[in-house]
């Protein structure tokens, strides 16, 4: 795709051309324009035996391009891999797409089977990149779409994104200026947190779940119950400062992962506000190294990265306890967390691991988060 934009006397005009064959030729006609008034984006996609190529370039000048020839060396390119997981045992075909984050462009869309990997070689000078994945649609469900946006790449280095794998759980948007996951505005208290983000924190456009419930208690008295999308609810409460408990639950999973259940319960104090005010919510992310079928070896000593997000990551953590269950959440065992890693031994083949985090931040706000049947052993 070739896109050119020219500005003169405060007026901007643009033109673009996209074609899938050889023979495209470009040239600047006429005199030069003002310095820096001509911008161009050139993105090309090529298929190879072991990888596909996404080669993009940008230019700012007083003239449009007259020809463009590039011979990128292998060491000058960055590698981006997209892995399609199937912890529920699926074997269908989805789609993966890649494109530059900035400027006008058209991305490359390719089929990608579950349990498979797509590899792309890209040009770091094009800037940040986006990659997305659409899992196969079910008989009565839309495609489950994920995306990783605006990530940097480096020549000679590999960036890997795994989509739709366990451990599924709450995740907060940690980018600067992101919308808060919970807001108090006057007497309205709203929760907007993805409850079933995948193992790398990618948020699904259509999470697969069997039921979702959110409840709000004010000073230990039930204020309301909402059902619908996991982690999304709105309540009307009363003025005055009070202690609140907000609990969101979703059941999910099918096939080998049936019986999954995610629950997050937050406690905090809040009063009516004259403007939207963030609620001090936190989450705990667990990121075990799992195969694309959502499993890990049985009887192995596992060290699971544990990451705190949200209010506690900003104000500080007063206490954090991690527990593990291998009987579906009937009994729990406290495990040590050292240097951000929770260590424990996995159960026998065909077993399940459930995870629980109990957190208190330095302001006294708490989180109890339980991920029942979070992943399996093989």
- Collapse the DSSP code of 312 into the 3-class scheme (helix H, G, I; strand E, B; otherwise coil) and give the result: helix
Q: How far apart are CA 115 and CA 123, in angstroms?
A: 27
* 286/308 Cα distance (integer angstroms): 9
**How far apart are alpha carbons 371 and 378 in whole angstroms?**
19
- Per-residue pLDDT, 140: 67
Compute CA distances 194 → 178, 197, 277, whole Å: 14, 6, 19
Contact between 262 and 250 under an 8 Å Cβ cutoff? The reply is yes
Beta carbons of 274 and 239 less than 8 angstroms apart: no
Residue 359 is predicted with a pLDDT of: 98
Closest CA to 374 of 334, 330, 336, 328: 328
What the block records as the tokens of 60 is: 């700012």
In percent, how much of the chain has pLDDT > 70?
99
Residue 141 scores a pLDDT above 90 = no
Q: What is the mean pLDDT of residues 122-135?
A: 97
Query: Where are the chain's structural domains?
Result: 2-61, 74-163, 182-377
Rounded to an integer, the average pLDDT of 150-163 is 98
For 251-288, write each residue's pLDDT tens digit: 998 888 889 999 999 999 999 988 999 999 999 999 99
* Cβ pair 264, 248 in contact under 8 A: yes
pLDDT score of 333: 98
pLDDT in tens, 95-117: 999 999 999 999 999 999 999 99
| CA distance from start to end of the chain | 46
Lowest mean pLDDT among 22-26, 81-85, 165-169, 214-218: 22-26
Euclidean distance between CA atoms 322 and 329, whole angstroms: 13
Phi, psi of 361 (to 5 degrees): -90, 175
Is-contact 254 88, C-beta < 8 A?
Answer: yes
Residue 246 and residue 265 in contact, taking contact as beta carbons nearer than 8 Å: yes
Specify whether the CB–CB gap between 264 and 247 falls below 8 A: yes
Pick 140 or 18 by higher pLDDT.
18
User: How many whole angstroms from its chain centre is CA 122?
Assistant: 21
How do residues 291-323 score in pLDDT, each as one tens digit? 999 999 999 999 999 999 999 999 999 999 999
Please state, in angstroms and rounded to a whole number, the distance separating the CA atoms of residues 120 and 109.
Answer: 12
Q: How far apart are CA 287 and CA 375, in angstroms?
A: 11
Please, which pLDDT band fits residue 54 given cuts at 50, 70 and 90?
A: very high
**pLDDT value at position 142?**
75
Give the pLDDT of residue 21: 79
Residue written as token pair 């792309």: 120
Q: Please give the backbone phi and psi of residue 79, each rounded to the nearest 5 degrees, phi first.
A: -105, 130
CATH assignment, 74-163: 2.60.40
Helix H, strand E, coil C: the string for 234-277 is: EEECCCCCEEEEEEEEEEECCHHHCCEEEEEEEEEEECCEEEEE
- State how far the Cα of 252 lies from the Cα of 373, in Å rounded to an integer: 10
Question: For residue 11, what are the CA distances in angstroms to 5, 8, 37, 60?
Answer: 10, 5, 10, 17
Residue 264: is it exposed, middle or buried by C-beta count within 10 angstroms (0-12/13-18/19+)? buried
d(CA 265, CA 247): 4
């Amino acid at each position: 795709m070739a896109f050119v934009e020219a500005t003169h006397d405060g007026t901007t005009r643009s033109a673009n051309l996209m074609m899938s064959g050889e023979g495209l030729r470009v040239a600047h006609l006429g005199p030069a324009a003002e310095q820096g008034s001509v911008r161009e984006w050139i993105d090309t996609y090529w298929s190879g035996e072991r990888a596909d190529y996404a080669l993009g370039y940008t230019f700012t000048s007083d003239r449009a391009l007259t020809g463009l020839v590039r011979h990128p060396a292998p060491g000058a390119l960055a590698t981006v891999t997209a892995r399609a997981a199937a912890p529920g045992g699926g074997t269908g075909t989805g789609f993966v797409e890649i494109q530059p984050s900035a400027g006008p462009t058209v991305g490359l869309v390719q089929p990608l089977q579950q349990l498979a990997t797509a590899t792309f070689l890209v040009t770091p000078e094009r800037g940040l990149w986006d990659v997305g994945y659409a899992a196969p649609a079910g008989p009565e469900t839309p495609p489950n779409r994920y995306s990783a946006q605006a990530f940097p790449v480096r020549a000679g280095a590999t960036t890997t994104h795994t989509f739709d794998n366990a451990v599924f759980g709450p995740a907060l948007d940690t980018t600067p200026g992101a919308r808060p996951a919970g807001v108090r505005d006057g007497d309205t208290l709203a929760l907007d947190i993805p409850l079933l983000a995948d193992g790398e924190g990618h948020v699904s456009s259509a999470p697969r779940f069997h039921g979702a419930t959110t409840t709000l208690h004010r000073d230990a008295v039930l204020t309301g119950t909402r059902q619908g999308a996991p982690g999304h609810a709105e309540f009307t409460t009363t003025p005055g400062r009070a202690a609140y408990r907000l609990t969101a639950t979703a059941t999910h999973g099918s096939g080998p992962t049936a019986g999954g259940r995610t629950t997050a319960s937050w406690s905090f104090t809040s009063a009516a506000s004259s403007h939207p005010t963030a609620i001090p919510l936190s989450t705990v992310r667990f990121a075990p190294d799992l195969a694309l079928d959502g499993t890990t070896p049985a009887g192995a000593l596992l060290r699971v990265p544990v990451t705190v997000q949200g209010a506690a990551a900003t104000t500080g953590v007063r206490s954090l306890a991690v527990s593990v269950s291998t009987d579906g959440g009937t009994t729990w065992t406290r495990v040590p967390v050292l240097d951000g890693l929770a260590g424990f031994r996995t159960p026998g083949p065909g077993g399940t691991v459930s995870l629980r985090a109990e957190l208190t931040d330095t302001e006294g706000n708490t989180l109890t988060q339980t991920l029942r049947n979070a992943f399996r052993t093989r």
